[in-house]
A = this chain, B = another copy of it.
Amino acid sequence: MSIHPLAIVSEKAIIGSNVTIGPFSIIYDNVRIEDNVTIESHCEIGVPNHLSGGNLLVIGQHSHIRSHSIFYEGSIFGEKLTTGHRVTVREKTIAGKNLQIGTLSDIQGHCTIGDYVRFHSNVHIGQASSIGNFVWIFPYVVLTNDPHPPSNTLKGVTVEDYAVVATMSVVLPGVTIGKGTLVGAHSCVNRNTEAEMVYVGSPAKKICATGGVRLQDGSDLSAYPWVNHFNRGYPESVIEAWKRGEHGLTGGQST
């Protein structure tokens, strides 16, 4: 264990072996940090708040939280969480393994996130969002939840497995982004999307099957399902399963 002398670590926090905590970081009481985790400088881990239900913040093993990040108590992260800088994560975020959260992203809490999800920089995940596995959300995307703001009605967004939401798109409250859907940049999605279709515009309209998008790498192969050509950062077991077709994606050809 390597705790910098200018870090502030509660004696009540449960801290595993081989954990590193950087200078000017604060670890609060209600926290369990598992083995082999790195918390960089200027972080706050386990910020107390009355909406957490008194639950622990759990950071799974082999996680890496970059500097200036803030996690509230009452959330649970599986192993191998990786974050950029200045991430904010509120209470009651329940996430699977191998989640990546990009710099400046803001997860508002009270949401569920599957395995191997990738949030790029500066995404905003509203409360009551439900995110599947292998989902990609790109910079400046907002998942909303209030159909007539301000109100007490919370209708979260659902994003199904392997879906991709490109830069600066808004998904309106209660919408389901179907499995393997691609939402193009700068779109506003106001109704449920079909699986493995491309949607673009404001409001977003269905353009074609995802399999109709061609790779611009000279191969002229289909760009989707993306699992056929992109596997950086996924474990060998996942890549092997994809090779066996266990993703269940067709590029929309069978729809």
Q: Which residues of A contact B (CB under 8 A)?
A: 6, 8, 23-24, 26, 41-42, 44, 47, 67-68, 70, 84-86, 88, 103-104, 106, 108, 118, 121-122, 124, 136, 138-140, 142, 144, 147-153, 155, 164, 166-168, 170, 172, 174, 185-186, 188, 201-202, 213-217, 223-224, 226, 229-230, 232
Contacts and interface: CB of A to CB of B under 8 A. Distances in A.
Contact of A153 (B166, B186, B216): B216
A175 B24 CA distance: 42
B138 A140 contact: no
Contacts of A85: 70, 88
Given A23-B26, A86-B88, A153-B216, A224 B148 contact: yes
B215 A151 contact: yes
A226 B151 contact: yes
A216 B26 contact: no
Given A6-B8, A153-B215, A148 B186 contact: no
Q: How many copies does the complex hold?
A: 3
A172 to B, nearest CB: 6
Given A148-B224, A149-B166, 18 more contacts: A6-B8, A68-B68, A85-B88, A86-B86, A103-B106, A104-B106, A106-B122, A122-B122, A136-B149, A140-B142, A144-B185, A147-B216, A149-B164, A150-B226, A152-B229, A153-B215, A153-B216, A186-B202
B229 A151 contact: yes
A121 B224 CA distance: 33
Contact of A118 (B150, B152, B164, B188): B150
Closest 8 CB pairs of A and B: A148-B223, A186-B188, A170-B186, A147-B216, A153-B217, A170-B185, A150-B230, A168-B170
A173 to B, nearest CB: 8
A216 B26 CA distance: 42
